[in-house]
Amino acid sequence: CDGTGTTALPDVVAAGDVARWYNPVYGQAIRYEHWTSAVEQSAIAAQRLLGGQGTLEPLAQVPYVWSDLFEMRLAIAGDVQGSDQIYVCHGSLDDERFLALFGRAGKLCGAVGMKRPRPLSACRALIESGASFEEAISANA
């Protein structure tokens, strides 16, 4: 799909787990397998079906998933696969309360948080803006 859910078939759009949407943040088509992505994609796909094809901006979505594990919430923003840098801040792994930043080629590409929802949300915005890994570390010092 392109960044609005448009497929190769006329008047057919795709959204959710089955769809690979082009993401301008990452410069490639990516499948997001979480309900938060399906909600964001479905809003754009519905607009596309209702005739908004010429006015729609591609969804520049930073992936976000979370899971409650007993008393702990684990959340991930961005794409940490292939990262070549990691920095743990806002706590420690031993305390099971932390934020870990992931970088690839000098850019912030993802973040993983355990019991740290606010700093993780801020990282999602940093990823979307194309922040460098060093800028992300400074913002979370």
Domains and CATH numbers, the chain: 1-61 (no CATH), 64-139 (3.30.390.30)
Give tens-digit pLDDT for 89-110: 988 888 888 999 999 999 999 9
For CA atoms 20, 24, 26, 43, give the dihedral sign.
negative
What pTM, to 2 d.p., does this model score?
0.80
Mean pLDDT, residues 35-41: 86
**Structure-token pair, residue 14:** 């795709």
How far is it, in rounded angstroms, from Cα 13 to Cα 41? Answer: 10
Cα radius of gyration rounded to whole Å, the chain: 16
